[in-house]
Structure 1
Amino acid sequence: MKEVFEKPYKIVRRLTEKGYQAYFVGGAIRDTIMNRPIGDIDISTSALPEQVMELFPKTIPVGIEHGTVVVMLEEEAFEVTTFRKDDEYLDHRRPTNVQFIDSLLEDLKRRDFTMNAIAMNEHGQIFDPFHGQAAIKEKKIQTVGVPHERFQEDALRMVRAIRFHSQLAFDIEQETLLAIKANANLLHHISIERISVELEKTLSGINCKSAMQLLAETGLSEQILSLISYRDQLQHWPNIHSNLLKTRTEKWALLCTVLKVKETEWFLKTWKLPTRLIKEATSMVLGLEEIQATGWTNLLMYKLGEELTISTERLRLIQLGQLDETEVSKRFDAYKKLPIYDKSDLAVNGHELIEMVGQPPGPWVSKVLSKMEHDILVGKLDNQKELIKEWLNTCNQL
């Protein structure tokens, strides 16, 4: 068993010592089999949520109505969920009721894809009733049970299939793919927030181009209001290494540039993204347009700031198919050579400016400071108080 399982192993062991069934489940097992980096490690158990909370000193009942309790162990959080069976689904999104059960098989049966319906016990023994290991070996995305039923239950699973196609470079099994096309119209029941999480992960995948094309070909993009006008751009997604992007902002800026979005800020708002991300991605898109027109300038780097300057350069190089971290480092070095990084770096502030000029405060102060910033950044003025005094006599901004 891999080292990352050492801490959650203690949880599983504690549960089994008390007579409960407990297993590692889901993506962590899939990624273990594939020898991929392992993210969150989830645990399923026959113990009821209240019983789990009794066994561990620090727990958080984050989703207790659905059987989930977060167990804190050495400052790390692990989700422990009671075996459950879902009743009928409401609006193709969520079950009307959840039944807690003591059957691992029934719990795995409710999961989306066979590769995610694999469990592992504390001894590293695999339980694979739906042949998920075979699907992994064949690089195949296949639903547990009848695809039509799985997508009728939760329409987001169709977008998850596209996301896994991007991340794992697995093919979607034919019957599953046909069911996505047949049920694509159900996606309008799903909130844009849930879809945006999956799309962001799709943008990070090694098979992003094919995944974006599938969004259009399956008809899913027609059901996503934010993408409804971009079918052609999705079908002609370029062959770029978007998996090399490092931040959320870079991914959403990439989406905007590839789709040739005209109103970037409005488009990003439709995805219900955080305000800061929207602002930064919009700045990056505008920055890329400016670079295309005039190349990198001190003014642009100053406007973007350190983090966005680096991100914009990385995205630019990735889109050109020329990503080289030494080039990104050169842009960072260029940024570090800027004469100022912020208005607070000016050798003369607003109060000193008013004293120097001998005029009462007014809009002219901001205007002169902005001109001062500009001239320092373009090399027309050194950021020194005496030189700024001389410059004030000739700048014609008063």
Structure 2
Amino acid sequence: MILTQLPAEFQAAKPVLDTIEAAGYEAYFVGGCVRDTILGKPLHDVDIATSAFPAEVKGLFKRTVDTGIEHGTVMILDHGNGYETTTFRTESGYQDFRRPDTVTFVRSLKEDLKRRDFTINALAMKPNGEVIDLFDGLADLKAGVLRAVGVAEDRFHEDALRMMRAVRFASQLDFDIEPATLQAITDNAALLSKIAVERTRVEWEKLLTGQKPVRGLQALLATELYRYMPLMADQKPALEQLVALPAWQLPTVESVWTLLAWLRQAPQPANVRQLLKAWKTSNELIDHVTAAVRALSALKCAGQLTSRECFDVGLAALTTANQVATILGFGQPQSHLDAAYAALPIHNKHELAINGGDLLKRQLVTPGPAMGRVLAACLDAVITGKVKNESTLLLDFARMVADSKNN
């Protein structure tokens, strides 16, 4: 196969390959960028593999960065772009089921491609668009099949994360996992526990935001891979609920975790935080999902949020909640929620027309907890429409609150 209409990303990177080839070495585009071009999907990265050893690559270019020199990867900086260029290599001795104990640089493209995970990722392409297919990856692409290169069990023992990548690709590409590869995942599922949570999380999030997440989830359930994911061992019913939902897609990582937290039937903030901490997510994501789950509960129970709930949740988390609620069957027109949020008198506490200094200046309170309680009452009064956000009116209201608390 020769691809005649190459994306602009390849055209921009072609001078890098030309330079390497002019020095007498081989150079190819490899992996996902070749696969996605054949499938007509947008490119995320352009990866290059070469017979030139790292020192030889560095000698050919003025600006390089050793991004993974021990594994043969050099970043070539060319015309404002960075291209990861990796020497053909073989690997051996995966004692931790994650990283090779030994990496050996070689001059053979076949030796390099045979260590890759799936046939659809073991494709190489020359600068002129000619695709090199040594493991029938093109046939598997055409058939929509995900197949391990060589012996599937060997590939999963080399890097157990490849099992999660398999179910993720099933979702992202809407592919079937062929029987031998699926069986090897089933037989070796427990090895996933050897993988860092952060690496597993990336694949899990990509699965659930894929074009056909149900296909990936079905494979996850069939192989019982889920049992070796953080806090998921007893979550088969929740996963089956996901599979049973009418056609759905999750647009963001925030919506992924909001839906998972909800289906775990543990929407309390402490339980949401426990789940997300187990998956080692960011504090920012934890706060967002906790707020979104709170909004989701309100949408489920009342069909709408009060002014105070809208204010506390914020528009971003409210949008996430509604995305999930729509999947679950009780979503609202987003325009209605946007309008309700826009109609709030203020959208954060810093917009309140008075502050602690104003209270002290008028000797309404003394520094301490009393000041916080009075300001909180003023904030609530403005949000709920009891008092306009005007300093004179708020100071009168604050005086009344302070007096009532002193009596």
Q: What TM-score do you get using the length of structure 2 for normalisation?
A: 0.91
Q: Helix, strand or coil: the match of 2:377?
A: helix
| Pairs within 5 Å for 1:265-280 | 265-280=273-288
| Pairs within 5 Å for 1:286-325 | 286-294=294-302, 295-320=304-329
Equivalences, count: 394
Give the drift of 1:234. 1.4
Going from structure 1 to structure 2, the CA distance change for 1:59 and 1:332 (only over 3 Å counts) comes to farther
Cα distance in structure 1, aligned partners of 2:330 and 2:195: 35
Q: Helix, strand or coil: the match of 1:227?
A: coil
Give the drift of 1:290. 2.7
Percent identical: 37
Which residue of structure 2 aligns with residue 253 of structure 1?
258
Does the 8 A contact of 2:250 with 2:256 survive in 1?
no
Structure 2 unaligned residues grouped into runs of 5+: 1-5
Does the 8 A contact of 2:146 with 2:176 survive in 1?
yes
Q: Helix, strand or coil: the match of 1:255?
A: helix
Which residue of structure 1 aligns with residue 352 of structure 2?
346
Q: Helix, strand or coil: the match of 2:224?
A: coil
Cα distance in structure 1, aligned partners of 2:259 and 2:19: 46
2:292 aligned with 1:284? yes
Structure 1 unaligned residues grouped into runs of 5+: none
| Cα shift readout 1:315-356 (whole Å, capped 9, x = no counterpart) | 322333868xxx334433432332112221111111112233
Does the 8 A contact of 1:261 with 1:267 survive in 2?
no
Does the 8 A contact of 1:205 with 1:242 survive in 2?
no
Cα distance in structure 2, aligned partners of 1:321 and 1:13: 56
Q: Which of 80, 91, 107 is the matching residue for 2:85?
A: 80
Cα distance in structure 2, aligned partners of 1:187 and 1:112: 15
Stretch of structure 1 that moved more, 236-245 or 174-183: 236-245
Does the 8 A contact of 1:242 with 1:251 survive in 2?
no
Cα distance in structure 2, aligned partners of 1:255 and 1:63: 35
Q: Which of 236, 240, 249 is the matching residue for 2:241?
A: 236
Q: Helix, strand or coil: the match of 1:95?
A: coil
Q: Helix, strand or coil: the match of 1:243?
A: coil
Cα distance in structure 1, aligned partners of 2:73 and 2:220: 32
Cα distance in structure 2, aligned partners of 1:33 and 1:146: 25
Give the drift of 1:357. 4.3
Going from structure 1 to structure 2, the CA distance change for 1:118 and 1:334 (only over 3 Å counts) comes to same
Q: Counterpart of 1:309 in structure 2: which amino acid?
A: L
Q: Helix, strand or coil: the match of 1:89?
A: coil
2:25 aligned with 1:28? no
What is the RMSD computed on CA atoms of the aligned residues? 1.9
Q: Helix, strand or coil: the match of 1:127?
A: strand
Which residue of structure 2 aligns with residue 146 of structure 1?
151
Cα distance in structure 2, aligned partners of 1:72 and 1:306: 40
Cα distance in structure 1, aligned partners of 2:103 and 2:346: 59
| Cα shift readout 1:279-319 (whole Å, capped 9, x = no counterpart) | 22222122211332342222222212232233333332233
Give the drift of 1:13. 1.6
Which residue of structure 1 aligns with residue 386 of structure 2?
380
Q: What TM-score do you get using the length of structure 1 for normalisation?
A: 0.93
Q: Helix, strand or coil: the match of 2:367?
A: coil
| Cα shift readout 1:77-106 (whole Å, capped 9, x = no counterpart) | 221111001122222211110110111111
Q: Which of 178, 196, 203 is the matching residue for 2:208?
A: 203
Q: Counterpart of 1:31 in structure 2: which amino acid?
A: D
Give the drift of 1:242. 5.0
Q: Helix, strand or coil: the match of 1:77?
A: strand
Stretch of structure 1 that moved more, 119-128 or 39-48: 39-48
Does the 8 A contact of 2:156 with 2:188 survive in 1?
yes
| Pairs within 5 Å for 1:147-226 | 147-226=152-231
Cα distance in structure 1, aligned partners of 2:331 and 2:374: 41
Cα distance in structure 2, aligned partners of 1:99 and 1:122: 25
